[in-house]
Homo-oligomer: A and B are copies of this chain.
Amino acid sequence: MISSGKVIKLFYDISSPYSWLAFEVLCRYKNIWNVELKLKPAYLAGVMYGSGNQPPVLNPSKLLYMTSDLTLLSQYFGVPMYRPSKLIKKDSVIPMRFVTAVAEKEKDGDDLVEKVSRELWKRMWSTHQDIVQPASLTEVGIKAGFSANEVDDILILAKSQQIKDRLTSITNEALKYKCFGLPFIVVQVDGKAGVFFGSDRFELMAYFLGEKWFGPHPT
């Protein structure tokens, strides 16, 4: 692929369902818009803390809105996310370190990071399964195409200081862009950079890129 010079960095955390939407839409559009999509697994709690932002779920009205909003978005975007009746509140640091370890292993491109992230989102927002136990992460890794031995290596790597530091470093990279929540999308084109928060700015992003928005199902 000859580089178009257009780059989209997607900062995301699998604990954020809106991140899943942005992830799927950008995966669908990366060839259509001829952009290099860089997946940037980050840590949402670190972003919220670092930017001094209040999570929307702390406000009852916002929480109610999010629940009905996700239902409609899920239908329209064709991403099977459902808010469980009882959300098992789990810190996402373990699965995000797992994704970061996969990124470390995968030197060329991020095909496996994409697959692992999608499997984690499915578990958290579609089938509502555990995402922190080693057995769960092993299942995710195998579904993404790793061998059992490879997953064992990734699980060990995920606990290393190197990977902890790497996740912190990507989270800090997002904060340098003045990120205050996820998904946070940095679009670089013709020497300028635009930032987009959330999963409802794709049409505006296309305008910024000088490309077309064909809705959530471009093909």
Contact = CB atoms under 8 A, between A and B. Distances in A.
Interface of A: 51-54, 59-62, 64-65, 68, 72-73, 75-76, 178-180, 194-195, 197-198, 200-201, 203-204, 207-208, 215
A41 B51 CA distance: 33
27 contacts: A51-B61, A52-B61, A53-B59, A53-B62, A59-B180, A61-B178, A61-B179, A62-B180, A64-B178, A65-B178, A65-B180, A68-B194, A68-B195, A72-B194, A72-B204, A72-B207, A72-B208, A73-B204, A75-B207, A76-B204, A76-B207, A198-B200, A200-B200, A200-B201, A200-B204, A203-B203, A203-B215
A213 B51 CA distance: 35
Nearest to A207: B76
Candidate in A195, A200, A215 with the most chain B CB atoms within 10 angstroms? A200
Nearest to A208: B72
Contacts of A75: 207
Contacts of A180: 59, 61-62, 65
Given A52-B61, A72-B194, A203-B215, 12 more contacts: A51-B61, A54-B54, A60-B178, A61-B180, A64-B178, A65-B195, A65-B197, A72-B204, A72-B208, A73-B204, A76-B204, A203-B203
Contact of A53 (B61, B72, B203): B61
Contacts of A194: 68, 72
A96 B137 CA distance: 54
A204 B76 CA distance: 7
A177 to B, nearest CB: 9
B51 A59 contact: yes
Contacts of A68: 194-195
A65 B201 CA distance: 13
A208 B75 CA distance: 10
Closest 6 CB pairs of A and B: A61-B180, A200-B200, A61-B178, A51-B61, A76-B207, A64-B178
